Amino acid sequence: MAVIEVTDLRKRYADLTVLDGVSFSAEEGEIFGILGPNGTGKTTTVECVEGLRRPDGGSIKVLGLDPVKDRRKVREQIGVQLQHTQLPENIKVWEALDLYASFYAKPRDWRDLLEEWGLADKRNARFGKLSGGQKQRLFIALALVGNPRVAFLDELTTGLDPQARRTTWELIKRVRASGVTVVLVSHFMDEVEELCDRVAVFDRGKVVAIDTPAGLVDGIDAEHQMRFTLMAGDMVELGGLPGVTGVTRTGNRVVVTGRGDFATAVTAQLARHHVLVSDLRIDKRTLDDAFVALTGRSLDPTH
Amino acid sequence: MTKLTIVELKLLTREPGAMFSLLIPLFILVVFGSSIEPGDTVLLPMALAIAVGLVGLYLLPTTMATYRERGILRRLSTTPVRPGNLLVVQLLLQLVLALIACALLLVFAGTVLGAHLPTRVLPGALTFLLGTAAMFAVGLLIAALAPNGRAANGIGVLLYFPMAYLAGLMQPTDQMPDIVARIGEYTPLGAFRQSLRDVWAGGAPSPLLLGVMAVYAVVISIAAAKFFRWE
Ligand SMILES: Nc1ncnc2c1ncn2[C@@H]1O[C@H](COP(=O)(O)OP(=O)(O)O)[C@@H](O)[C@H]1O
Ligand SMILES: [Mg+2]
């Protein structure tokens, strides 16, 4: 069953078109990723789905309901972590959870959440005194305290150290295991690759692909490289093999460029001619390569 | 709603600004109070107006603008509870705070200082209600217009001094230029202080000044509602 159905969503701010016909659907029990660089309309999209912003066009169904018309019913069943929000500096962790639990008809016991999200010893700490990771975990716990069927998490690991990110990822997997559908907004490849069952790739207000992370990577036909060092035997002709587009040799170092599964053909050819090689490396294709192939630019700004 | 009120109340007690709103008027009363005559009708109305002015112009707008700035109102709109509830709760708590501040002043002045207190309750209560409504309206307008909590705080403080001066809270009105004092009487805070003083003098507050405060309360509140943004 589709838990969220978005069809041809449109949104403009003055003369800036932020969403230009966005469509996707998320299935029950999956972690659905919304991936794309900053400023491509990811937050705008989920905030329309949450009923926080009014789209200019298109239709949205959350659990079969309209988030604007059936406001209350929808909000009773969703949990939200917004990208840019804070709590009052002086509110204590338990007070925030207790308060937010009181907003829902059938909340979870917030004491369990305190344990699950590793905040038990911060129970009486004030929000302003928490570390970035602790704040983030509190936000996620607050998104879950209403016992939602769908949780929206927007950039949940921004600003966390690698250790804290890993921990958070494990906890998100547990959320999925408990049957909650998760909509995960992120501009991190590794996060999406690790967590998401399916991903909608956003670029400039449009969805350019929807697939599993592996499907996205397999679907691209980008050139990639394999490298090795010749040890013994004479170099054989590789240029004619299927998929190979180029071979360069510098001394004993060989770099073969190609598309598809050319690496298998190359290693087979080397073995057939008893060419011994070492340091064999095949560049792993990543979601980022898929993103470049889809949009013509890299998601990772360090590239 | 109950839980929201309890939590907001706790937060208010943790807010240093709330303490200041209670203590500053009391401090002024203590400093000047020792030298006043028993029949004085000036000092206590002044202290009361200061107390309400501080809450309305400083604490109320700062709290509300901070809530918007931190996205607390937005976060609340993703839950089944309407964010308007938070504003209502805040408004009520700030009203209670203003009441406590005034009660503290009256009790202290009445007992320790042996100051004169008006015997008729109704005119005093009406004046308090209208004056507080007018000051809170100004505070709400600041909250609506200020981009963030710090700006609201700044605007509140900036507005407070000229308003307090015009209202005759910095120096007694009879030491002010006549024209300034006359104008000041028709500012929200000035009308409030003058009406309180009338009550203290044993008479009824002038209907004109009560009307002036009511008009301020209504007109400025409407403007605040019109300009208010949730995010
Ligand atoms: N309230 C708003 N007013 C004007 N422009 C906005 C508003 N919200 C978002 N935008 C613009 O819309 C674009 C998409 O923003 P956003 O949805 O936050 O992207 P993302 O979450 O993918 O980083 C950005 O260029 C942003 O500046
Ligand atoms: Mg965003």
Res. B161: pLDDT tops 80 = yes
- The count of C-alpha atoms lying within 13 angstroms of the C-alpha of B37, restricted to the half-sphere facing its C-beta, is 4
What is the Cα–Cα distance from B149 to B156, expressed in whole angstroms? 10
In the predicted model, what is the mean pLDDT of chain A?
Answer: 92
pLDDT in tens, A228-268: 999 887 888 888 898 899 999 998 899 999 888 888 899 99
Q: In this structure, are A42 and A132 located in the same domain?
A: yes
Q: Whose CA is nearest to atom 18 of ligand 1?
A: A43
Chain B residues inside the 8 Å CB shell of A85: 70-72, 74-75
CB A294 within 8 A of CB A201: yes
CATH at residue A35: 3.40.50.300
Comparing CA positions, the residue from A263, A285, A283 lying closest to residue A214 is A285
* Span A93-117, average pLDDT: 96
For the entire predicted model, the pTM comes to: 0.87
Do A238 and A184 lie in one domain? The reply is no
Rounded to whole angstroms, how far apart are CA atoms B120 and B202? 8
- Environment class of residue A124 by beta-carbon count within 10 Å: exposed (0-12), middle (13-18) or buried (19+)? exposed
**Chain A residues inside the 8 Å CB shell of B15:** 90
* Cα distance between residue B184 and residue B172, in whole Å: 12
Tokens of A280: 């064999």
Torsional sign, CA B90, A71, A148, A8: negative
Query: Three-state SS string across chain A, please?
Result: CEEEEEEEEEEEECCEEEEEEEEEEEECCCEEEEECCCCCCHHHHHHHHCCCCCCCEEEEEECCECCCCCHHHHHHHEEEECCCCCCCCCCEHHHHHHHHHCCCCCCCCHHHHHHHCCCHHHCCCEHHHCCHHHHHHHHHHHHHCCCCCEEEEECCCCCCCHHHHHHHHHHHHHHHHCCCEEEEEECCHHHHHHHCCEEEEEECCEEEEEECHHHHHHHCCCCEEEEEEEEECCCCCCCCCCCEEEEEEECCEEEEEECCCHHHHHHHHHHHCCCEEEEEEECCCCHHHHHHHHHCCCCCCCC
Task: Write down the number of H helices and E strands in chain B.
Answer: 11, 0
CA of A225 vs chain B CAs: smallest distance (Å):
47
| A49 and A192 together in one domain | yes
Task: Check residue B175 and report its DSSP letter.
Answer: G
Choose the closest CB to A85 out of B14, B15, B74. B74
Average pLDDT over residues B38-57: 90
In a domain, A157, yes or no: yes
- Interface contact flag, B10 A95, Cβ < 8 Å: yes
- Packed helices B149-166 and B188-200: angle between N→C axes, nearest 10 degrees: 50
Q: Cα(A41) to centroid of ligand 1, in Å?
A: 6
Distance, CA of B186 to CA of B166 (rounded, Å): 9
Confidence at residue A300, expressed as pLDDT on a 0 to 100 scale = 66
Q: Exposed, middle or buried: residue B14 (CB in 10 Å: 0-12, 13-18, 19+)?
A: middle
- Which tokens in the block code for residue A203? 């670029």
What residues in B contact A140, CB-CB < 8 Å? none
- B78/A98 touch (CB, cutoff 8 Å), yes or no: no
Instruction: Please check whether residues A179 and A248 belong to one and the same domain.
Output: no
The token pair at A271 is 């073995």
Average pLDDT over residues B158-171: 92
Q: Do A90 and B15 touch (CB under 8 A)?
A: yes
For residue A43, give the ligand 1 atom closest to its CA: 21
Q: What mean pLDDT is predicted for residues A75-79?
A: 97
What the block records as the tokens of A282 is 């095949």
Tell me, yes or no, whether A133 lies in a domain. yes
Q: Mean pLDDT, to the nearest integer, of B197-218? A: 94
**What's the N-to-C CA distance of chain B in angstroms?**
22
- If asked whether residues A204 and A242 sit together in one domain, one would say no
Q: Are A241 and A137 part of one and the same domain?
A: no
Q: Which atom of ligand 1 is nearest to the CA of A44?
A: 17
Mean pLDDT of all residues in B159-177:
90
pLDDT at B167 over 70: yes
CA neighbor of A80 nearest in space, from A100, A106, A57: A100
Domain ranges of chain B: 2-227
**How many CB atoms within 10 Å of residue B2?**
8
d(CA A176, CA A193): 15
Instruction: Check pLDDT > 70 for residue B16.
Output: yes
- pLDDT at site B101: 95
For residue A218, how many other CB atoms are within 10 A of its CB? 13
From the list A80, A88, A104, the residue facing B72 with the nearest CB is A88
Shared domain for A185 and A259, answered yes or no, is: no
Q: Write out residues with Cβ below 6 Å of ligand 1.
A: A 13, 18, 36, 38-44
Specify the pLDDT at position A217. Answer: 84
Task: List CB contacts (< 8 A) between A99 and chain B.
Answer: 3-4, 7
Domains contained in chain A, number: 2
Residues A63, A190 within the same domain:
yes
A160 and A197 belong to one structural domain: yes
pLDDT at A302: 53
Mark whether A79 and A206 lie in a shared domain. yes
Are A103 and B81 in contact (CB < 8 Å)? yes
Question: What does the pLDDT read at residue A293?
Answer: 80
Does B202 score more than 90 pLDDT?
no
**B10-34: average pLDDT:** 90
What pLDDT, on the 0 to 100 scale, is given for residue B189? 95
How much is the pLDDT for A226? 92
**Domain contains A291:** no
> DSSP for B92-131?
HHHHHHHHHHHHHHHHHHHHTS-----S-HHHHHHHHHHH
CB contact under 8 A, B72 and A86: yes
Residue type, A298: S
A85/B4 CB distance under 8 A: no
Mean pLDDT check: name the lowest of A88-97, A282-291, B170-179. A282-291
When the pLDDT of each residue in chain B is averaged and rounded to a whole number, the result is 92
Q: What is the maximum alpha-carbon separation in chain A?
A: 75
Which of the 8 DSSP states describes residue B173?
G
The per-residue b/e assignment along B95-107, b for 16 or more CB within 10 angstroms, e otherwise, is bebbeebbebbbe
Q: For B94-150, how does the pLDDT look when each residue is reduced to its tens digit (9 = 90+)?
A: 999 999 999 999 999 888 888 888 888 899 999 999 999 999 999 999 999 999 999
- CA-nearest residue to B70 within chain A is A86
Asked if residue B54 lies in contact with residue B25, where contact means CB atoms within 8 angstroms, the answer is yes
User: Which letter does DSSP use for residue B206 in this model?
Assistant: P
Interface probe with A: pick from B2, B66, B67, B75, most Cβ of A within 10 Å: B75
Distance (Å, whole) CA B79 – CA A42: 21
Residue A290 forms part of a structural domain: no
For ligand 1, pick from A10, A11, A13 the residue to mutate: most ligand atoms within 8 Å of CB. Answer: A13
Q: Which domain holds residue A262?
A: 223-284
Same domain flag for A38 and A187? yes
Q: At residue A50, does pLDDT exceed 50?
A: yes
Domain assignment of residue A172, yes or no? yes
Say yes or no to pLDDT of A303 above 70. Answer: no
* Same-domain status, A210 and A263: no
pLDDT beyond 80 at B219: yes
Measure A27 CA to nearest chain B CA, in Å: 21
* pLDDT exceeds 70 at position A301: no
Q: Within an 8 Å CB–CB cutoff, is residue B78 touching chain A?
A: yes
Q: Is residue A293 part of a domain?
A: no
Q: How far is the CA of A35 from the centre of ligand 2 (A)?
A: 10
Q: Among A63, A104, A80, which residue's Cα sits nearest to residue A184?
A: A80
β-strand partners of A199: A33, A211
CATH code for the domain of A261: 3.30.70.100
Helix (H, G, I), strand (E, B) or coil at B15: coil
Q: Are the CB atoms for A207 and A22 separated by under 8 Å?
A: yes
